[in-house]
Structures are given as structure tokens and as C-alpha cells.
Amino acid sequence: MKNRFLQLKQKLNNWKWIECQVTLHSQTNQQQSYRLLETNYKIMQDCTVVEEQLQFNIQMQKSFNFSKRIGWNWHKSWKLPEIIVKPILNCYKLYTKGLRCRLICGYVEDVSTIRQVELEGSIEKLYNDEIQGFQFENIKFSSTSYKLEGVHFHVIIEIYRRDDIFQTELTIKSVISPPIFVDSRKAARNTKRFDYQKIMSLIQPFHPFSLKKQLIVRSDKSKILKIEDTLEGLNNYLMAQNIRNKCRHPYFLALKFRSVFDLFYNSSLYSTHLTLEQLLIKIQQYLVDSLNSQQNQSVLLLSMKYTNYSELDIGFFSNNLSQLQNNVIQVVAGSQIDKNWIKININDLNNIYSEKYSTFPRVSTTDQIQMKQYFDISSDESDSDVCCQNDEQIEFCKQQNLQEYYETKIEIQNKKVCI
């Protein structure tokens, strides 16, 4: 598992299609529908049934654009690269009657559900004997990431067989692309605001009440999923569209997702005579000071605990790595940690933070204004979405039942890794 995770982490710009078995959530004419893209390896070839796994040979005319800041990306007005899909079945002859392929676009609602977004163009193809596969060209995205709260889109290739007599479909296999950020000409200002909110979400203190709240993923009124203390729960939290005010502070992540992370601090930066309370406050001050300095020495390290995670869960987590770290905060997946990193007791962290929250350093109003000027954001825009609130505001918020008022806001997922 460790090697698989490190490979995903290290090859940030490596395009990879991964087999997926997810629920596709669609909406047409105000009617919701759910369909399971479940792989079925029993494929009719001539008149026999074999248990042979169907493989894809997927060729793209060119690759999507890639940047370190937002990962794979594309422009809404551009045609997608031409895609040719050729099924491979070793030495068997593929029974092609009724064999079809479709392209599906969507974004992640939770780790088991993809919300479909329409594509423009001919997205369903019959098997072509001449090319021994399927060819897709002149396809475009119909929406942008900005219109959908900064989400990244995924392209799914589904090979299926249709029975025209009984009007049934059988999914033979489906694969999912890495996340793709879909841009538009009107997006520049939103990008700057997203960057500002990401910075604030990593360093601004959070109210202790947010640790006690039951977070949920709500894709629609009929589907509500509790966010649990698991890697899947963490992925759901980071990708949930209904949670608009996310907190990514290392203290919060270590306390909220205890089964996923251990938290360490860099002992070479601090005296051994400090109490834990003094240490935690000094570390918080270090995070705040990093805004106005060129500090490149990491002070906190979130270490991922190992268990039997699925490749898809690891992939989703890898995509979210860039949201959780900066020049002074690291996220690692390895048991080999340098001896200068010392583990912080989570129970002590919880007690101290809950009692001394008001004494933890914050980003000053002056620094926030300067940051907004740097990112070209209007100073009169409220910071209520990206800063923790005082007790009166918190009580008002509780009465209004605003689900995610306290956590720091970030509306973009800067995913660097394909799944």
C-alpha cells in the first residue's frame, strides 16, 4: 500500500485512468436518477462466456494542460483531445454485437458518487470494426469549475452492451480520469479569491465548536452522508460541495480525523523547556508569521496512518494533498520520520486548544487587508466566510443552523495528482 501511495504522490503530473465502480447521479427535467457503474467481467465472445478482464488501450491526440497550481486543466471553449478507445481481450475474439462506449463527465459528490455534468457533442459510439474500437472527437465541456464552486471535473469512459429488444444495458467496464479544472475567461478574479481563501484556511484558528459538530455531505435533499473519522470521511469532507467553509488547519485535521493522521512538530525550532501550551501557541504564531516572511522550514507534519485503504481512496486523498500543505506544513505518508519530528499528544492538544483558543495568534486585520490587495480582492468583502467568529456570532449561527459557518472557506480544490 505504501508503494502505491508514494507512486501516486510522486508522479503529480502523470495522467492515469483508474478503474471505477461508482454511482452516477444524473438529473433530467427535475428528475433525479442513480445508476451504478459496476464492472461485469462476464463478456460474450462468439457463443461462450469467459471470465477474462477487459483491458483498455486509450489513446489521446494530445494531453490536457498541467500546472503545479491547479493540476490538470482545460478551457471550456476548447475541444477535448480526440480519444480512441480500443478494448483488448488477449487472444479472444471480442463479441461486438451491441457493444458501445460512452463518455461521461461529472464531479465528485462523495467518494462513491459522481454527479453528472453534460458534455457537448456525440458522446455515445457503436463499436467500429475499421478501427477496432471507438473514436470520440469534437467534444466540449458544457460548464466550468467556477460555476460549480470550484470543483474539478472527471471524464469517465464506459464500455457497455445494450440489448435493444429488452432495452437493458450492462456495464462491462468503466475507468475514470484524473481531476480536470475547467477554466473560463471570466475566472481570473475568482482564482485570486480562491487562493486567498486557501491560505487563510491553513493558518487561521478555528473555533473549538467545529470539532464537536457532526459534518455531513449533502448531494441533494434525499441523500445525506455523515462524515466519519476515516480516510473516506476525510475525502468526503475535502470534496463536499455543501461544506463551503472548510478548515484545513493541521490542528483541526489531527483532531477531527484522529484515525487518519498523527501530528508532529519540528523540535529543532523550539526549546525543550516549553510546556505544550506554550509550544502550540508558538507554532501558531509561526504559521501566522509565515505570511510575511520567506520561511521555508516546515514546523508541522501530518503523517498518514496506514491501514488497508483502497486505491481509489488513496487516489482521492492524493488529489487533495495540495490543499493541506504549504511551505511550513507537510503531509506525508510514511513510517520513516526524522528524529527531529516529535509527536504531539492528541488528547492534550484537544484540551489545551479548547481551553486556550482565544489566546492563539490570528492573522491581523491589517494583514488580511494587505493580502486582499495583493490578490486584488475588494476590502469591503466580508471575511465572515474565511475567519472564525466571536461567541455572539457563533450563537447566532447555531440558531440559524448554518452547517459550515465556523470552518475556513475554500472554494477550489487545487488537485495536483491524478487518481
To which residue does cell 487518481 refer?
419
Based on the fold, state whether residues 372 and 338 are members of the same structural domain. yes
Based on the fold, state whether residues 279 and 391 are members of the same structural domain. yes
Flag whether pLDDT at 177 surpasses 80: yes
The rounded mean pLDDT for the chain is 77
DSSP 44: E
Q: Name, in order, each residue with C-beta under 8 angstroms of 143's C-beta and a sequence gap of 6 or more.
A: 76, 117, 118, 182
Based on the fold, state whether residues 26 and 50 are members of the same structural domain. yes
Average pLDDT over residues 71-98: 82
CATH number of the structural domain spanning residue 76: 2.60.40
Q: What is the pLDDT of residue 23?
A: 87
For residue 113, tell me if it sits in a domain. yes
Q: Among the three residues 125, 151, 183, which one is the final residue of a domain in this structure?
A: 183
Q: What is the pLDDT of residue 1?
A: 39
DSSP 367: H
For residue 74, tell me if it sits in a domain. yes
Flag whether pLDDT at 231 surpasses 80: yes
H/E stretch holding 320: none
For residue 6, tell me if it sits in a domain. no
Q: What is the pLDDT of residue 53?
A: 61
For residue 419, tell me if it sits in a domain. no
Q: Work out the pLDDT band at 399, boundaries 50, 70, 90.
A: very low
For residue 150, tell me if it sits in a domain. yes
- Higher-pLDDT residue of 275, 19: 275
- Higher-pLDDT residue of 256, 37: 256
For residue 66, tell me if it sits in a domain. yes
Q: Are strands 71-75 and 181-183 parallel, antiparallel or unpaired?
A: parallel
- Higher-pLDDT residue of 9, 369: 369
- Higher-pLDDT residue of 92, 292: 292
Flag whether pLDDT at 277 surpasses 90: yes
User: Would you tell me the crossing angle of helices 188-203 and 365-374 to the nearest 10 degrees?
Assistant: 150
For residue 176, tell me if it sits in a domain. yes
Q: Among the three residues 159, 183, 207, which one is the final residue of a domain in this structure?
A: 183
Based on the fold, state whether residues 53 and 179 are members of the same structural domain. yes
Residue 320 CA to residue 298 CA, distance in Å, equals 19
Q: In which domain, by residue range, is 69 found?
A: 15-183
For residue 7, tell me if it sits in a domain. no
Question: According to the per-residue pLDDT averaged within each range, which of 236-250, 277-291, 392-406 is highest?
Answer: 277-291
Number of domains in the chain: 2
Based on the fold, state whether residues 209 and 134 are members of the same structural domain. no
Residue 116 CA to residue 26 CA, distance in Å, equals 5
Based on the fold, state whether residues 304 and 394 are members of the same structural domain. yes
Flag whether pLDDT at 330 surpasses 70: yes
Based on the fold, state whether residues 21 and 33 are members of the same structural domain. yes
- To the nearest whole percent, how much of the chain has pLDDT over 70? 73
Based on the fold, state whether residues 224 and 143 are members of the same structural domain. no
Based on the fold, state whether residues 132 and 58 are members of the same structural domain. yes
Backbone region of residue 30 per phi and psi (left: phi > 0; alpha: psi in -120 to 50; beta: other values): left
Amino acid occupying residue 230:
T
Based on the fold, state whether residues 97 and 133 are members of the same structural domain. yes
Q: What is the pLDDT of residue 352?
A: 96
Based on the fold, state whether residues 224 and 163 are members of the same structural domain. no
Q: Which residues pair with 68 in a beta bridge?
A: none
The answer to whether the CB of 178 falls within 8 A of the CB of 319 is yes
Q: What is the pLDDT of residue 10?
A: 39
Based on the fold, state whether residues 283 and 352 are members of the same structural domain. yes
How many other C-beta atoms lie within 10 A of the C-beta of residue 366? Answer: 8
